[in-house]
Amino acid sequence: MELSTIRLELPIILKLQNVLIIFLLFIFLIATAEATEYTVEPIPSDQFGVPVNGEKVVEVQIIEISYWEFLLWLATVNILAAVDLLYSKRIIFSIAGYKIVNSRNVLDNPSRLNIYTYIKTNPGAYISEIVGNIGLDREIIKYHVKTLEAQNKIEAYREGGKTRFFENNFTYNEDEMRVISALQNVTNQRIILEILTSKCDTNISLAHELGVSRATVSWYIKNLREIDLITEIKEGRNTIYRINPVYELVVEKHIKNFQDSDNN
């Protein structure tokens, strides 16, 4: 008769070991809970509560708990101890001189707070713009921006190969971020304003008003059409530009903000 060999891989052995430890712990808890009870009785006396040798007598309040309540209490203590062990890494990092960044202390860093404030007051800001206005090293700003994004203080909006950042407090929806990003460009802003007010709505009139070539206007219009902010209507031989009705209210709202900031 051929004997077969059973091999236990290391993960299986470890699992069996853990099961055995849990089983032994459970037996220990049961044994602890069912330990023999002892009753301590005072020396018999004629009067209840009278000291035998002049000692002070204090009545002890006895709290009775059930067996399952005891097990629940014991399990709670062990769980809390395990949680403390999990968070012991905070102590290690503190000893090493590091600080764990979370949503509550992410703005404690002065440079990070400065970057966050700039993005909050200048929605749609991008890295090069922040570098030029904050005055910090580009890599340092990228690090702080990444930290702010990880802690949900800001959110990134990516379109046209450029990443812009907005305060992440649900102030801006997708449409608003798209419009604001487009309005960051001064030429886009002028073209959109002319079309919105119906002053100029053709390639020729826009080129004349802005003082640029028709090819330049066509290039900007092409980009605005790709993000759906501008639509075209054929009227005979002319092409008339219109603001996409989906974004018209958003455009009216935010282009006014840009005009007010320019005037100030």
With helix as H, strand as E and coil as C, how does 51-99 read? CCCCCCCCCCCCCCCCHHHHHHHHHHHHHHHHHHHHCHHHHHHHHCCCC
| Local confidence band at 118 (pLDDT 50, 70, 90 cut-offs) | very high
Tell me the CATH number for domain 106-172.
1.10.10.10
Residue 153 structure tokens:
């203080």
| Local confidence band at 131 (pLDDT 50, 70, 90 cut-offs) | very high
Tell which wins on pLDDT, 93 or 72. Answer: 72
User: Any idea which of 33-42, 174-183, 240-249 has the lowest mean pLDDT?
Assistant: 33-42
Long-range contacts of 240-249, Cβ-Cβ distance < 8 Å, separation of 24 or more: 240/201, 240/202, 241/195, 241/201, 241/202, 241/206, 242/195, 242/201, 243/192, 243/195, 243/196, 246/175, 247/175, 247/178, 247/179, 248/196
Check: CB of residue 52 under 8 Å from CB of residue 43: yes
Q: Kindly state the percentage of the chain with pLDDT values over 90.
A: 36
User: Which DSSP state fits 231?
Assistant: E
Average pLDDT over residues 3-28: 52
Q: CATH topology of 106-172 equal to that of 181-263?
A: yes
The confidence score (pLDDT) of residue 135 equals 87
- Span 181-263 CATH architecture: Orthogonal Bundle (1.10)
Average pLDDT over residues 13-42: 53
Which phi and psi (to 5°) does residue 151 adopt? -95, 15
| Local confidence band at 105 (pLDDT 50, 70, 90 cut-offs) | confident
- For residue 156, what are the contacts with CB-CB under 8 A and spacing of at least 6? 149, 163, 164, 165
The confidence score (pLDDT) of residue 40 equals 45
Against a cut of 0.85, is the pTM above it? no
User: Any idea which of 110-124, 169-183, 203-217 has the lowest mean pLDDT?
Assistant: 169-183
For the chain, the average pLDDT equals: 76
User: Residue 163 forms beta bridges with which residues?
Assistant: 158
User: Any idea which of 48-57, 154-163, 234-243 has the lowest mean pLDDT?
Assistant: 48-57
Which range is most confident: 21-30, 130-139, 169-178?
Answer: 130-139
| Local confidence band at 5 (pLDDT 50, 70, 90 cut-offs) | very low
Tell which wins on pLDDT, 24 or 134. Answer: 134
**Where do the domains of the chain lie?**
106-172, 181-263
The confidence score (pLDDT) of residue 145 equals 94
The confidence score (pLDDT) of residue 50 equals 57
